[in-house]
Amino acid sequence: FTHPASWTVPTTTDSKEYKIEAWVSKINSNNDGNTDNDKNSATTTALSNLVPRKSLYEVFTSSTCPPCKPGNEQLSSVINPLVGKWTAVKYQYNFPGNGDPYYTSECAARGSFYGGINSVPRLLVDGGWNGNPNSYTTAIFNQFYEAPCFVTINGNANIDPQKQSVKITGSIVSELDINTPTRAYIAIVEKVTTKNKTSNGETEFYY
């Protein structure tokens, strides 16, 4: 349903829910025989401000996969100039051929979460866009980056290489009331690896 008159969101310092109703009458200048289905409504939330979004990039890839090399290069060409607007986790996978030497059960578990991975390279953005990173563009990046975000996440990590431990502290602040069970997931990734190179021409593997 569209309407030529725009709705001005009331000025508010706190989040507030509004019920918007739309109804019709005199369809084609005729009286309606059933007025019980002439109205529809939806609830929307107005906020005083939004939080800058940082999109999550999950890439399923392998050092034995020829198209994975240009796929990773294409993705890097899009996201690398946009510092601070994204985060990435890459899962080295067990095919084609013998697959990547750094494939782990954690990679398989994440693939299963998305219904299984039957081809690589595969890119998921915020758990939504699901496709080949060779076709990824700045326009698609902006589509996700510009989506409204209501949660601020701040964190710090202290790494102790002697104990092979990481201590993480942080805070999560929501501009909205969250009434459903919510979890925070923390992933630890290696910035770059080199010892898993095999046959596709890649020599460095990030995240």
Torsion sign over Cα 58, 99, 67, 82: positive
Strand, coil or helix: 40: strand
Half-sphere exposure of 25 (CA within 13 A, CB side): 1
Amino acid identity, residue 78? Answer: V
Backbone torsions φ then ψ of 72, nearest 5 degrees = -65, -35
Strand, coil or helix: 71: helix
Closest CA to 77 of 156, 15, 135, 27: 135
Rg (CA), the chain: 23
Q: What is the pLDDT of residue 5?
A: 87
How do 205-206 and 192-193 pair as beta strands?
Answer: antiparallel
Q: What is the pLDDT of residue 77?
A: 98
Q: What is the pLDDT of residue 14?
A: 65
Q: What is the pLDDT of residue 15?
A: 63
Q: What is the pLDDT of residue 158?
A: 96
Which residues of the chain, if any, have pLDDT below 50? none
How do 16-23 and 39-46 pair as beta strands?
Answer: antiparallel
Q: What is the pLDDT of residue 13?
A: 58
Q: What is the pLDDT of residue 12?
A: 61
Euclidean distance between CA atoms 18 and 42, whole angstroms: 8
pTM score over 0.85: no
CB contact at 8 A, 120 and 61: yes
Euclidean distance between CA atoms 205 and 195, whole angstroms: 9
What's the burial of 108, exposed, middle or buried (CB within 10 Å: 0-12/13-18/19+)?
middle
Residue found under tokens 């460095």 = 204
Phi-psi bin for 196: left (phi > 0), alpha (psi -120 to 50), beta? alpha
Q: What is the pLDDT of residue 198?
A: 98
Tokens of 5: 């008159």
